[in-house]
Amino acid sequence: MSLFKIDWNDAHILKTNTTTISTSDIDTIEPDNLKKEVEPWLSAIFQSEHLSLLVGAGLTSAVSFVADVKAQGMDRLTLEDDLGEQVKSKADEAAGKMERGEANIEDDIRIALELINGLYLLDDARAKPLKKELDAKLLKFIEAILDAEQQFNDKLGKDDAKAIEAFNLLKSFILSFTSRAASRERLNIFTTNYDRFIELAADATGVLLLDRFKGKIQPVFRNTRLELDYHYNPPGIRGEPRYVEGVARITKLHGSIDWKFQDKKIIRSLLPFGAKSDHPEVPQEVSEKVVIYPNSSKDIETAFYPYAELFRDFSSAICQPNSVIITYGYGFGDSHINRVIEDMLTIPSTHLVIIAWDINYAKEGEHINYGAARDRIIKFLENKNAAQCTLLIGSHFGDLNNLVEYYLPKSAIDRLTVKMQKLKDSRGEGHNVAANNDNQQNEEL
């Protein structure tokens, strides 16, 4: 039974510890007024001792939508092999057991990989043709991801207004999280995406990303996570290094299109953002070389390297007191991630913020079609402590433009404005400014 006093039949849902709004009439939402409530609340949350951001495919979809670029979808993997129908059937069955709703391409990939491994163990001749077709399908999947990157890159190069707007929104979104005070623990970014949009935005904004890779010419994946960081020595001060601002840690939980196996190691290949499909760093034997792992299951978690290491980073980062995790574009379809978040919420001082566009929501007369994402969110929140959760759900609150414009806190780097306001307040000027504004408004009325 849900402990949230929310009408889930409404399209737009906002829930903080001080404000709850549930409506299907978007005209009743006043973002300018809500900003006064939501932005300070999120600002306080963002300065928690431990802060993590979990990003799903929704972020790439939002950026691509604004830029008018076709993002890689999660359509089913259609195998023409004789075993194709069995793969599809077992993928449907597995998705049902994991309460994911409808199966997608990640379920198909996982079942196909397990089947190929089983056939090889039996020396079954059907393994090779199935593997060959899976490699071809995975290559097309990677090419589609690269194609979305390429379209976005090309539009930026041509100064396309929509692409520039989308990129600015993405950079502002990332900066809202990464510009924490240097005295706080670093932001942890976790993503299930295979693309590099986050890395592109971080490079453009000067945000330094720390991951498990070491080296410059050929970065190699570390088996152990070293707590390395960036420091500097202030002029005139010796022996007191300080943390550099704008640093975050990133973990790609399902791998990346530029990770590959080589000489029994995992390296990050020199695959440019938006590279052509014939680029030499795009391998042909995808299922053996590219580190792309689909959604979790017990077999994947334990058998596939470095899946366990990445999820260990995730659990150790969020399962601690005074920890906050914000999800954006994540549909709660990964059972392993959900279990870790549930474990985190057993600690009373932790908090969960869910931001979801819920694009599949539709209302036809009295019938409500939530979409699989909202169904999973509702089920996940059953029996959860409402005081530990903040919700921004729906096409208004989950819209990237609305988030950046109204609800996400301003970048903490903009300290000049804050300092100016403090000086005005200390001199009494802030009060006079407010009074003058009120007088002007009264005169207009």
Residue 210 above 80 pLDDT? yes
CB 138 within 8 A of CB 108: no
Residue 157 above 70 pLDDT? yes
| Minimum mean pLDDT range among 162-171, 212-221, 394-403 | 212-221
What DSSP letter does each residue of 81-119 carry, written as one string?
A: STTHHHHHHHHHHHHHHTT-SS--HHHHHHHHHHHHHHH
Among 163-177, 304-318, 423-437, the range of highest mean pLDDT: 163-177
User: What's the whole-number average pLDDT of the chain?
Assistant: 83
430 vs 56: which has the higher pLDDT: 56
Per-residue CA distances from 21 to 14, 35, 36, 193 (Å): 5, 13, 14, 31
441 vs 308: which has the higher pLDDT: 308
CB 348 within 8 A of CB 73: no
Kindly indicate the confidence band of residue 407, based on its pLDDT and cuts at 50, 70 and 90. Answer: very high
C-alpha triplet 143, 145, 147: angle, nearest 5°: 65
Residue 220 above 60 pLDDT? yes
Q: What is the DSSP letter of 347?
A: S
Domain map (residue ranges) of the chain? 12-413
Model pTM score: 0.86
Burial class (CB in 10 A: 0-12, 13-18, 19+), 27: exposed
- Phi–psi pair at 257, nearest 5 degrees: -70, -15
Q: What is the mean pLDDT of residues 175-186?
A: 84
Q: What is the mean pLDDT of residues 242-251?
A: 90
Query: In this predicted model, what pLDDT tens digit does every residue of 329-357 receive, in sequence order?
Result: 998 988 889 999 999 999 999 999 999 98
Amino acid 235: pLDDT: 82
Percentage of the chain exceeding pLDDT 90: 41
